[in-house]
Amino acid sequence: MSPPVTARELGRATLARQLLLERHPIGAVEAIGRLAGMQAQEPGPPFIGLWSRLENFEAAELRRAIEERAVVRATLMRGTLHLIGAGDYARLRSAIAPTFEEAMRRILGTRAEGIDVPALVQEARAVFAEAGALSAAALRDALAERHPEADVRALAALVRTGLPLVRVPDGGRWCFTPRAPFTDAERWLGVSPDERPDHDGLVRRYLAAFGPASVRDAEAWMGGGGLAAAFERLRPELETFADERGRELFDLPDAPRPPADTPAPLRLLPEFDSLVLAHSDRTRTIADEHRPGLVTKNLRVRATVLVDGAVAAFWRLEKARGTATVVVEPAGCAPPSGGPRPARPSGSRFVEPEAKAHAVRVDAG
């Protein structure tokens, strides 16, 4: 019997697929495809995430891909906004959507009772066909005109999960303002998202980006259950392993699995990066004792510093008196020997190129 796969080996495999063992000379659209999308709760983090992964990446390249509709920003995994290739969105949304649709119905509870969701979705499609794009407030207003006695916030919530919608770029350095409007994905892309749930394709894309992984890992990434049957259908074409905890892991046969001693360079990852969110067992990238510090009280996923392939610190950018400073906070009580210090403040230069000066500061935590 083969020895169990160690957490360090799993980490190296995931880093390779997440383009973090070296900077890659590929384009933004290809990279987003290989990453199985990038979480984009806020518009800026995917730009920073690509800067950390690609050679000579410039923000203008991703802005152009968004404006040309090669990449869309839409609700997907875990019911959160992601940047994803237009083709992947059209193919994979139907496999993911039921999880966040059901989550919204649970959140609304009795407020969703008696609502004919399919009829509401068709009505909303006509609203968007007339208006083009609508902000969240404008969508509520349009629904209120048609249903003056209804709970329009509940109606709008069901529309946002039931109708394939994408955010429309509306300006700013990162392409979207905080209140970027929505539009019908079919109208925006010129093609209808596939209505046949392709769970097998979803599992393959997940393993290519985050494997080797368990069924529970994949379901944590997606944000809901129901993938076990797809793994079983795919079992004959997948490799299987056991980790140090005895869990069964699956992987694509030809996917990269570098040796555990493969060098992993220091990397700054942005807020909400999927590397630290895409597994149920995250010990391959972040120690269990550091996980409580990863998410803030207002549910922001903090930006992280990878040292030797694992989260060693969190970072944020401060700007004062013309100086942009990368502030590093070690994940433990004190900086490890030598400190997880970026070699240079290049992260602040990418995010704040017009700052007069750039610096790095390591706080005691």
pLDDT at 146: 93
Percent of the chain with pLDDT over 90: 82
pLDDT at 290: 92
- Which residues of the chain, if any, have pLDDT below 70? 1, 333-345, 365
Beta strands across the sheet bearing 303-307: 267-269, 303-307, 310-320, 323-330, 357-362
Query: At 183, phi and psi to the nearest 5?
Result: -150, 165
pLDDT at 339: 46
Q: Dihedral (C-alpha) 119, 122, 124, 128: value to the nearest 10 degrees? A: -170
Residues in the chain: 365
* Burial 23-59, CB ≥16 within 10 A → b, else e: bbeebbbebbbbbbbbbbeebbbbbbbbbbbbeebeb
Chain centre distance of CA 147: 35
Token look-up 């140090």 returns 244
Token look-up 């209804």 returns 150
pLDDT at 365: 55
pLDDT at 7: 95
